[in-house]
Amino acid sequence: MRRFWSIVIAGSVSSAAVQDCLAGDRLFDELRFGASASVQSGNSRESGAFPELTAFFDPLGLDEAVGWQQQLARPRIGLGTSVGTSGEATQVFGGLSWQFSITERIFTEAGFGVTWHDGKLEHNADGPELGCRFLLREHVGAGYRFNAHWSAIAQVAHSSHANLCDGPNDGATRAGIQLGYKF
């Protein structure tokens, strides 16, 4: 019975979030695209560039938030991917992202969620040994708004299992730049 009510509540919340995202004939609040590179050293370093795409949904109305307290209470939902090149790990991630306006144009961002990857779990001489398929992911960044629609953000993202599963835990840390278009 408990499982039934959990499914009903989760379905109701998901339905409300989707309806809010579709308000005003827009599915996404913002789309970001860019690239990152590994900032790790030694055998844990990944080679190549990582094209990235992230979609943000804003069911809680971040744009209407006044002050940092309201911004903190209105995280956006982010879903994205960081595509491995040169045989490195591709990640597909999702989570919550908090954005704080410093000025009208300058902002900071922090986020937390989970990621799935297709990288090597262990015995990797040319990159990180990630230990398990699902990892925790966090990111921080600083950005600049060019106008009401376009922005750029420099971001660092780290993924690891935080010793919550067996196996090595080198993690993957990437830094990059993304351009965003806000609808």
pLDDT of residue 69: 92
Domain-located, residue 11? no
Domain-located, residue 20? no
Tell me how far apart the alpha carbons of residues 24 and 2 are, in angstroms, rounded to a whole number: 36
For the chain, the domain total comes to: 1
Tell me how far apart the alpha carbons of residues 119 and 172 are, in angstroms, rounded to a whole number: 10
- Please name which of 88, 100, 161 lies closest in space to residue 127, comparing C-alpha atoms: 88
Domain-located, residue 7? no
- The string of DSSP letters for 146-174 reads SSSSEEEEEEEEEEE-TTSSSS----EEE
* Domain CATH code at residue 97: 2.40.160.20
pLDDT of residue 24: 57
Domain-located, residue 153? yes
Domain-located, residue 97? yes
H or E element at residue 94: strand 91-101
Pair of tokens at residue 22: 């579709």
Name the pairing type of β-strands 134-145 and 30-38: unpaired
Pair of tokens at residue 13: 């919340």
Flag residues of the chain having pLDDT under 50.
1-18, 20-23
Domain-located, residue 38? yes
Owning domain of residue 164: 26-182
Q: Which residues, 6 or more positions from 18, have their beta carbon under 8 angstroms from its beta carbon? A: none
- Please name which of 161, 128, 169 lies closest in space to residue 44, comparing C-alpha atoms: 128
pLDDT of residue 11: 47
pLDDT of residue 54: 98
Task: Confirm if 179 and 33 have CB atoms less than 8 A apart.
Answer: yes
Domain-located, residue 3? no
Domain-located, residue 65? yes
